[in-house]
A = this chain, B = another copy of it.
């Protein structure tokens, strides 16, 4: 096999994985993870169930992949923002706007992330805990850097990261499950105002 067709194969495989992921988001959002069968995901994706199993050995693996893809996206947002050399406040503003935009564009995804985040105990939930924890660590570093640069007041940066992430998630969870989608539009500015006092 030459290099060109190998690249092609990888590209097709990635596209199929994404197609499965998107179909799974739709179905799980409507039916819940517990009630979703691999056959339902296959039907939604317009693929044979055998094809799904070529990519994911179980339903759990599909859900883990949904979280992984979302984590990758947020990491990309973060590193994209880092390159822009923004102040801590501008950084948080941009982060809030982009994070909420993703959910406004795709509430199905938001619902899956919010509802299924504790989908299994033990081993499998490790990845999701990891996800939450690594985002909080990134925010903590941001607040610490802000304190160092004199842009943020002396605060408990760990608690601040937990609080900021928690308030964001709390608003999202309520907006998506009640549902009160319109809150997602007003929330970023409101949340930023609530922490305005931490900036020098």
Q: B residues within 8 A CB of A163?
A: 167, 170-171, 187, 190-191, 194
Number of interface residues of A (CB under 8 A): 38
Do B171 and A169 touch (CB < 8 A)?
A: no
Is A159 close to B, CB under 8 A?
yes
Partner of A115, one of B118, B132, B133, B197: B118
Do B159 and A183 touch (CB < 8 A)?
A: yes
Known: A115-B118, A170-B166. A159 touches B178 (CB 8 A): no
Q: B residues within 8 A CB of A196?
A: 197
Known: A156-B186, A194-B195. A132 touches B162 (CB 8 A): no
Is A129 close to B, CB under 8 A?
yes
Q: How far is the CB of A4 from chain B (nearest CB, A)?
A: 47
Closest to A190 in B: B159
Q: B residues within 8 A CB of A186?
A: 156, 159
Is A40 close to B, CB under 8 A?
no
A195–B170 Cα gap in the complex (Å)? Answer: 16
Q: B residues within 8 A CB of A162?
A: 170-171, 174-175, 183
Partner of A174, one of B34, B165, B195: B165
Is A121 close to B, CB under 8 A?
yes
Residue among A175, A177, A194 with most chain B CB within 10 A: A194
